[in-house]
Structure 1
Amino acid sequence: MSEKSLAVFGWVGTTISVLMYVSYIPQIMNNLHGVKGSPVQPFVAAINGVIWVSYALLKEKKDFPLAAANAPGIIFGLITGITAIL
């Protein structure tokens, strides 16, 4: 696979990862309206996001698609988890 194709493939994966985390929005809305979900999975997603973003940015050659793909998991995972327990 060429470098250009691989880069496109990486950004497609990044987009799909971001969409996966944005899909927490309906659960956040449900949590805020009293239909609470479990906080376990969103908190685990947030921890996973911290690990992957750290890994991507601490490498000698930064992996921005990987960091961008997982950063929303930190934000949306924490918001979803917190709203589930409040």
Structure 2
Amino acid sequence: MSLMRAKREVNRLEEVKFVGDFATVACLIMYVSYIGQIIANLNGNPVSPMQPLFASLNAALWVGYGWLKPHKDWRVIIANFPGIIFGILTALTVIM
């Protein structure tokens, strides 16, 4: 492998890591934003439970996917695990 090719490969891996890190943070922020809906639900202004329920199902599937890969995909697991918790909590607070 030539030196130029090796440098391009290193740059590509750095770009992939950056995008993966940024996507993980964006996903975490998305799920943490359910806190506002939870507060609204508890204050008597409930939202539909369907979206958070399906978000938690989607998150659970992604966590399972990341966990079952031959090399665990920690970015996928870490990014989506809060979605399970916040999605279920949001749906449950609609009922309360």
TM-score by length of 2: 0.86
Give the structure 2 partner of residue 79 of structure 1.
89
Unaligned runs of 5+ in 2: 1-10
Would you say 1:46 and 2:56 are equivalent positions?
yes
Q: Which of the residues 18, 27, 50 maps onto 2:28?
A: 18
- Give the superposed CA RMSD: 0.9
SS at match of 2:31: helix
Higher relative contact order (CA 8 A, sep 6+): 1
Give the structure 2 partner of residue 58 of structure 1.
68
Identity percentage over the alignment? 43
Unaligned runs of 5+ in 1: none
TM-score by length of 1: 0.95
2-structure distance, mates of 1:26, 1:55: 28
